[in-house]
């Protein structure tokens, strides 16, 4: 019976086919694969086409943490294959569903294994575990492409004849060129070879000659219906000490070469015979693997900015893998998903964390590019904590399970700037740290200025150290000292330059004012408030008309627009629900918004065409929203 | 599946009426040696062409047994296919088009430098080549330092108008380090793109030395098969300084950068299903182009939207045994 290809593991490359920063082109069951190792060692096996325009990713750039497509520079993250940046639209974060097709990957016996299971979920127990290859360091033979049907190739490999390793080694030790000789065949040497084990895509053979014995396992990679690659692994390496009662002779590299040559010559000879027979049979129809359709619904945009997701949802479950004090009163948490992969983090993104006490709080991700197996957050204990930071600090320990939302990005990073200035105050370092790492690892010029009370208040020093000279810390400055540094940093507004700032409210206000005074345009100054410190005035009452839903609803004093919409069954996206994060921004068609958020800047407020419906209200009796 | 080129020699494999009843370029007129047989392929079928002894009239016919380079008297050829000479190219058809070829008004201006910038075979479908020509987002990555450069990668909002006759994309702005051979500095360049034919596209871009005029560069695609195209690069420039060779070389440098990208796209035929690939706002013109082809009912060299999921066309492996 044919094995189910979606749960069967096959080798598709050798581990040493993946040198530093290379992308290897592989193929399995008619499907092309782009195989690359990230700098953290993870092996990625992806469908070999960029989901934008179908260009082969094997001609892309392995940047160590991300793979960049050659055609339009789209970046895909290590491990998740999530798209992290679309250069044609620098201001927008790519939608979360923009994700390449991944396949599971395991390295074993010097080979990279995968199975035809799009989505990357590893089925079953993984690649075969073979006692012969577990015993001692196995030696990978040269792989051999064979133009014949994989099942036939497997059957015909039973006829493979070779000489036990120990004998080859002995003979070379005596300077008799056995393996290099074209005339001396296996038959003449008289080895007895038998099939000692076999699986659905591999065969184990043992050669015996007198006292000497050695085992080889031949794996068949089904490339297509009429093409195979035979990947051989010799038990016990070149010294033959594989535990199969062989006479091992320890000898240097020359033996290894002799052994490899012997197998290559014998396998090539067998290959020619297999191909001759295959050429006389009718060629089978090539395989037609199904291409995944993109996961966008029709008319949906690939850019997050254009999309509207549902409300605040904490649907992911993560466990606290590590927590440590990263600075005075700041605890870092490393969160790992219980199973599967976390959605791809992007610079500037935050998650909602549902705390054991029921509160929901937002924390920026500190992750650098390609760090996709965990989320890293930094939590500062707020003296006036309403129970959020105190709960995390005091009660959450390693092993605890938390519910979090998918990352949301209302503070996206442009990468089309000749000069990027990142300014952080205190715990405001967290989103800027992910931005700095993204810019650093993709070779963009930037500067990060980190204002903190003292050296003891500087968080994530190990990451800061990895960034090198582009980081400047400014310690122990009072407000006027901070002000003069800001004035100096922002003194030279540059065409095409961008400023990103995050920190305590007063420092953020000071930075924005300094930038405006210096002549930076509003659109070049990006900021993120952690909280909205302004007192919300919800005393007004008015009517909202929902243009697309054809609904008109009264908003009474004391209720927000968002409350009213939800009470009437209209789903709206939100996160902080206090006018700080910008998730609920909604287009205004008519009426005059009464802005009470801290997300929009002065010119955006004046334009009056978007509003944060969680806190902002209406100055006019009627407000028409594009919902 | 793709039909192999050799299997269809002499008989056109194309049954798509939209593609059949259309005009196609097969060669620049000046590149045809009078009295000798030239051979090429159109819509999967082999065709031959020549010029009559005086050199005046091109003659095109479905290939018989004649060899390329053999002598032939064009006047004596039976079964001649319809022919037009326009923009310096010979155009023919395997069907009976009810329409004439589109016009390019700039060709009538006296000081225009008009020439074939090169006829280059590419292992992809004609619509993939057209779509690449319509695309600005790849400039910084594929034409680095010439038509684009990082970090100036943004594709600004532009307008697209679609009629039955053509697609027109206007207000297309992109930062270019060296927009043309005659450009000395980086500049925001404005483009207009026009698609008046399923397999022909042209762009109009401001002349670096005279902002009031537009250079015209076109790609006229000859679909040899569904997955193989000969791209004729048409140049109609305002440039009083550079030689013809220099202008040609610049165009070939640009197209030479596109070719390997096009040949690494999978599938080769253009998928018309909107969910087959991932469009973004910058792809507005290509989204319109795919819809426009769908609306015409074109099936040749595309994967129609209703077809089952496409399969990538893997590069055929060399067959050692045959």
pLDDT class for A135, splitting at 50, 70, 90?
confident
- Give residue-wise pLDDT tens across range A386-440: 678 888 999 999 999 999 988 988 899 999 998 999 999 999 999 999 999 999 9
Taking CB atoms and an 8 Å cutoff, what residues of chain B touch A291?
Answer: 267, 276, 309-312
Please indicate whether residue A60 or residue B307 has the higher confidence score (pLDDT). A60
Q: Domain boundary at A404, A438, A457, which?
A: A404
- Kindly report the nearest CA distance between residue B239 and chain A, in angstroms: 30
Does residue A131 carry a pLDDT above 60?
A: yes
Taking the CB of residue A480, how many other CB atoms lie within 10 A of it?
A: 9
Interface test with A, best of B264, B268, B276, B309 (most A CBs within 10 A): B264
Predicted pLDDT at B112:
94
Give B-chain residues touching A49 at CB under 8 angstroms: 265-266, 312
Looking up tokens 């769908």 gives B294
Q: Rounded to a whole number, what is the distance in Å from the CA of B11 to chain A's nearest CA?
A: 24
Residue B12's pLDDT is 63
Q: What is the mean pLDDT of residues A168-184?
A: 48
Collect all residues of chain A within an 8 Å Cβ-Cβ radius of residue B274: 298
**Number of A:B CB contacts under 8 A?**
131
Q: Give, for A276, the enclosing helix (H) or strand (E).
A: helix A253-279
First to last CA, chain B: 21
Quote the DSSP letter at residue A408: B
Residue range B6-92 forms a domain whose CATH class is mainly beta
* DSSP-based three-state secondary structure for A612: strand
**CA-closest candidate to residue A158, choices A111, A190, A206, A210:** A206
Is residue A465 pLDDT above 90, yes or no? yes
User: Which DSSP letter does residue B40 get?
Assistant: E
User: What's the pLDDT score for residue A6?
Assistant: 65
Q: Do A59 and B260 touch (CB under 8 A)?
A: yes
pLDDT value of residue A490: 96
CA distance B90 to chain A (A): 32
Q: Using CA of residue A107, residue A113, residue A117, residue A118, what is the dihedral sign?
A: positive
> Measured between CB atoms, which of A32, A98, A298 is closest to B278?
A98
Question: Which residue range is the domain that position A511 belongs to?
Answer: 420-528
What is the overall mean pLDDT for chain A?
A: 88
What is the per-residue pLDDT across B189-208, written as a single tens digit (0 to 9) for each? 899 999 999 999 999 998 87
Contacts of A301 in chain B (CB under 8 A): 280-281
Residue A415 within any structural domain of the chain: no
Q: Which of A313-317, A483-487, A506-510, B281-285 has the lowest mean pLDDT?
A: A313-317
3-state per-residue secondary structure call for B123-144: CCCHHHHHHHHCCCCCHHHHCE
Cβ–Cβ < 8 Å for B35, B72: yes
Q: Are residues A134 and A221 in the same domain?
A: yes
Count of domains forming chain A:
5
Q: Which residues of A touch B188 (CB under 8 A)?
A: none
C-alpha distance from B280 to closest chain A C-alpha (Å): 6
State chain B's mean pLDDT as an integer.
90
Q: Which of A54, A298, A416 sits opposite B267 (nearest CB)?
A: A54
Q: Is A288 on the interface with B (CB under 8 A)?
A: yes
Q: Do B309 and A224 touch (CB under 8 A)?
A: no
**How far apart, in whole angstroms, are the C-alpha atoms of residue A371 and residue A84?**
12
| Domain boundaries along the sequence of chain B | 6-92, 105-303
Q: Which residue of B has its CA nearest to A48?
A: B266
Distance (Å) from the alpha carbon of B254 to chain A's nearest alpha carbon? 14
Which residue bears the tokens 């690494």?
B264
Question: Which among B32, B66, B78 has a CA at the least distance from the CA of B52?
Answer: B32
Nearest CA distance, A287 vs chain B (angstrom):
9
CB contact under 8 A, A289 and B140: no
Q: Are residues A465 and A360 in the same domain?
A: no
Check CB contact under 8 Å for B266 and A88: no
pLDDT tens per residue, range A211-256: 888 999 999 999 999 999 999 999 986 655 554 444 444 456 777 8
Q: Please judge whether A48 and B266 are an interchain contact, meaning their C-beta atoms are less than 8 angstroms apart.
A: yes
Q: From B85, B90, B21, select the one nearest B49 (Cα to Cα).
A: B90
Q: Quick one: pLDDT at residue A245?
A: 44
pLDDT, residue B5, reads: 41
In a domain, A221, yes or no: yes
SS (H, E, C) A367-381: CCCCCCCCEEEEEEC
A418 touches chain B (CB under 8 A): yes
Contacting A residues, span 22-61, partner chain B, CB-CB under 8 Å: 27, 30-32, 48-49, 51-56, 59
Asked if A87 has any chain B CB less than 8 Å from its own CB, the reply is yes
Please say if the pLDDT value at position A495 is more than 70: yes
The answer on pLDDT for A286 being more than 50 is: yes
Q: B280, A303: Cβ pair inside 8 Å?
A: yes
Homologous superfamily (CATH) for B105-303: Naphthalene 1,2-dioxygenase Alpha Subunit; Chain A, domain 1 (3.90.380.10)
The three-class DSSP label of residue B244 is: helix
Interface of A with B in 488-517 (CB under 8 A): 496
Q: Tell the residue number behind the tokens 């619509």, with chain if given.
A: B127
pLDDT at position A494 is: 80
In this structure, is residue A294 part of a structural domain?
no
Question: At B20, is the secondary structure helix, strand, or coil?
Answer: helix
User: In 3-state terms, what secondary structure has residue A520?
Assistant: coil
Degrees, nearest 5: CA angle A345-A350-A351:
90
Percent of chain A at pLDDT above 90? 66
Instruction: Evaluate whether A79 touches A296 at the Cβ level (below 8 Å).
Output: no
CATH number, position A41? 2.102.10.10
Dihedrals φ, ψ of A65, to 5°? -120, -25
The pair of three-digit structure tokens given for residue B244, joined into one six-digit string: 């013809």
With beta carbons under 8 A apart, name residues in chain A contacting B1.
286
Residues A586 and A524 in one domain: no
State residue A489's pLDDT score. 96
**Are A97 and A242 contained in the same domain?**
no
State the nearest Cα–Cα gap between A131 and chain B, in angstroms. 35
B234/B298 Cα distance (integer angstroms): 24
Q: Which residues of B touch A302 (CB under 8 A)?
A: 278-280
Provide the 8-state DSSP code for A234: E
- SS3 call for A99: strand
pLDDT number for residue B28: 97
Asked whether residue A11 is assigned to any structural domain, the reply reads yes
Give the closest-approach CA distance of B56 to chain A in angstroms: 43
Exposed/middle/buried for B96, CB within 10 Å: 0-12, 13-18, 19+? exposed
The tokens describing A498, both together, are 């961008």
Q: Tell me, yes or no, whether A384 and A506 share the same domain.
A: no
Query: What tens-digit pLDDT sequence spans chain B (322 residues)?
Result: 333 344 334 456 799 999 999 999 999 999 999 999 999 999 999 999 999 987 679 999 999 989 999 999 999 999 999 999 999 999 999 999 999 999 999 999 999 999 999 999 999 999 999 999 999 999 999 999 999 999 999 999 999 999 999 999 999 999 998 777 777 777 888 999 999 999 999 999 988 788 889 999 999 999 999 999 999 999 999 998 999 999 999 999 999 999 999 999 999 999 999 889 998 999 999 999 999 999 999 999 999 987 544 444 444 333 333 3
Under 8 Å between Cβ of A519 and A493:
yes
**Are A293 and B276 within 8 A, CB to CB?**
yes
- 302-361 of A, contacting B, C-beta below 8 A: 302-303, 306
Asked if the structure places residue A296 within a domain, the reply is no
A123 and A183 housed in the same domain: no
**Residue A414 covered by a domain:** no
CA separation for the pair B271, A115 (Å, rounded):
27
**A199 confidence band (pLDDT: 50, 70, 90):** very high
Geometric angle at alpha carbon A363, from A361 and A367, rounded to 5°: 155
With a CB cutoff of 8 Å and minimum separation 6, the contacts of B212 are none
Residues A116 and A137 in one domain: no
Is the same domain home to A398 and A468? no
Whether the CB of A70 is below 8 Å from some CB of chain B: the reply is yes
Q: Which of A4, A12, A14 is nearest to A48 (CA)?
A: A12
Q: Are A473 and A602 part of one and the same domain?
A: no
Which CA distances in Å does B229 have to A323, B81, B119?
59, 20, 10
Do A115 and A132 share a domain, yes or no?
no
Interface of B with A (CB under 8 A): 1, 131, 136-138, 140-142, 150-155, 260-261, 264-267, 271, 273-282, 309-312, 314, 317, 319-322
* Per-residue pLDDT at A316 exceeds 50: yes
- Sign of the C-alpha dihedral computed for residues A400, A405, A406 and A410 taken in this order: negative
- In 3-state terms, what secondary structure has residue A166? helix
Is pLDDT of A174 > 50?
no
| Tokens representing residue A6 in the block | 């979606």
């Amino acid at each position: 019976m044919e094995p189910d290809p979606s749960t069967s593991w096959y080798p598709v490359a050798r581990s040493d086919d993946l040198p530093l920063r290379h992308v290897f082109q592989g193929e399995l069951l008619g499907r092309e694969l782009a195989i690359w190792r990230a700098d953290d060692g993870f092996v990625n096996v992806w469908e070999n086409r960029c989901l934008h325009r179908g260009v082969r990713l094997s001609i892309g750039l392995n940047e160590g943490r991300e793979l960049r497509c050659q055609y339009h520079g789209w970046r895909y993250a290590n491990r998740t294959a999530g798209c992290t940046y679309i250069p044609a639209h620098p201001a927008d974060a790519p939608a979360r569903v923009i994700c390449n097709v991944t396949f599971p990957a395991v390295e074993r016996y010097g080979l990279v294994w995968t199975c035809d299971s799009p989505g990357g979920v590893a089925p079953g127990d993984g690649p075969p575990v073979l006692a012969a290859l577990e015993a001692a360091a196995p030696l990978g033979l040269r792989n051999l492409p064979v133009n014949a049907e994989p099942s036939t190739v497997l059957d015909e490999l039973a006829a493979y004849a070779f000489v036990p390793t120990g004998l080859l080694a002995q003979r070379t030790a005596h300077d008799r060129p056995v393996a290099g000789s074209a005339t001396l065949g296996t038959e003449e040497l008289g080895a007895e070879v038998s099939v000692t084990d076999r699986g659905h895509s591999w065969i184990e053979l043992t050669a015996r000659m007198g006292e000497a014995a050695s085992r080889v396992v031949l794996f068949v990679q089904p490339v297509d219906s009429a093409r195979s690659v035979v990947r051989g692994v010799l038990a016990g390496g070149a010294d033959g000490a594989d535990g199969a009662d062989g006479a091992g002779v320890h000898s240097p590299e020359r033996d290894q070469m002799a052994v490899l040559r012997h197998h290559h010559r014998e396998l090539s000879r067998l290959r020619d015979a297999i191909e001759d027979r295959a050429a006389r049979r009718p060629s089978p129809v090539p395989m037609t693997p199904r291409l995944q359709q993109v996961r966008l619904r029709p008319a949906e945009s690939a850019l997050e900015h254009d999309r509207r997701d549902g409300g605040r949802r904490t649907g992911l479950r993560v466990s606290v893998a590590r927590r440590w004090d990263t600075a005075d009163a700041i605890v870092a948490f490393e969160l790992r998903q219980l199973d599967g992969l976390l959605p791809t983090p992007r610079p500037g993104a935050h998650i909602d964390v549902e705390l054991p006490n029921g509160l929901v709080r937002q924390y920026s991700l500190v992750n650098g590019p390609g760090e996709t197996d965990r989320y890293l957050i930094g939590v500062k204990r707020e003296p006036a904590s309403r129970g959020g930071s105190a709960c995390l600090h005091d009660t959450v320990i390693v092993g605890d399970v938390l519910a979090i939302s998918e990352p949301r990005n209302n503070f996206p990073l442009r990468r089309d700037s000749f000069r990027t200035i990142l300014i952080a105050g205190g715990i405001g370092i967290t989103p800027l740290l992910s931005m700095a790492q993204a810019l650093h690892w993709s070779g963009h010029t930037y500067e990060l200025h980190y204002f903190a009370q003292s050296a003891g208040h500087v968080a994530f020093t190990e990451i800061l150290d990895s960034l090198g000279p582009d980081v400047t810390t400014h310690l122990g400055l009072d407000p006027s000292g901070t002000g003069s540094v800001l004035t100096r940093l922002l003194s030279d507004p540059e065409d095409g330059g961008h400023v990103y700032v995050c920190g305590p409210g007063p420092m953020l206000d000071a930075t924005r004012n300094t930038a405006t005074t210096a002549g930076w345009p509003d659109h070049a100054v990006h900021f993120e408030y952690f909280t909205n410190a302004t007192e919300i005035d919800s005393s007004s009452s008015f009517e909202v008309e929902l243009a697309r839903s054809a609904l008109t609803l009264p908003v009474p004093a004391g209720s927000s627009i968002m409350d009213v919409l939800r009470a009437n069954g209209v789903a709206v996206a939100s996160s902080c629900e206090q006018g700080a994060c910008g998730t609920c921004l909604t287009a205004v068609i008519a009426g005059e918004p009464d802005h009470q958020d801290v997300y929009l800047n002065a010119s955006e407020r004046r334009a009056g065409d978007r509003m944060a419906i969680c806190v902002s209200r209406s100055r006019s009796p009627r407000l028409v929203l594009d919902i | 599946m793709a039909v192999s080129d050799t299997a269809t020699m002499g008989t056109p494999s194309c049954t798509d009426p939209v593609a059949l009843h259309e005009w196609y370029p097969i060669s620049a007129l000046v590149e045809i040696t009078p009295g000798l047989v030239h051979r090429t392929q159109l819509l999967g079928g082999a065709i031959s062409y020549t010029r009559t002894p005086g050199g005046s009239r091109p003659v095109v016919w479905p290939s018989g047994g004649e060899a390329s380079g053999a002598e032939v008297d064009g006047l004596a050829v039976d079964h001649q296919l319809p022919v037009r000479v326009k923009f310096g190219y010979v155009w023919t058809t395997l069907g009976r088009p009810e329409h004439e070829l589109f016009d390019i008004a700039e060709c009538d201006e006296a000081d225009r430098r008009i020439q074939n910038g090169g006829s280059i075979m590419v292992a992809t479908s004609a619509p993939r080549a057209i779509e690449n020509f319509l695309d600005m987002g790849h400039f910084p990555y594929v034409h680095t330092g010439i038509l684009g450069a990082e970090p100036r990668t943004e594709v600004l909002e532009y307008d697209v108008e679609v009629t039955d006759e053509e697609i027109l994309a206007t207000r297309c702005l992109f930062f270019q380090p060296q927009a043309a051979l005659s450009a000395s500095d980086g500049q925001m360049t404005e483009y207009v793109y026009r698609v008046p034919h399923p397999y022909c596209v042209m762009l109009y871009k401001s002349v670096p030395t005279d902002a009031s005029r537009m250079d015209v560069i076109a790609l006229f695609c000859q679909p040899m098969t569904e997955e193989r195209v000969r791209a004729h690069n048409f140049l109609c420039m305002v440039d009083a300084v550079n030689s013809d060779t220099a202008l040609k070389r610049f165009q070939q440098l640009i197209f030479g950068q596109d070719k390997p990208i096009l040949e690494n796209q999978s599938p080769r035929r253009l998928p018309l299903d909107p969910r087959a690939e991932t469009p973004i706002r910058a792809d507005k013109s290509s989204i319109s182009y795919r819809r426009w082809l769908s609306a015409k009912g074109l099936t040749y060299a595309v994967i129609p939207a209703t077809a089952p999921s496409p399969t990538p066309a893997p590069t055929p492996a060399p067959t050692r045994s045959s």
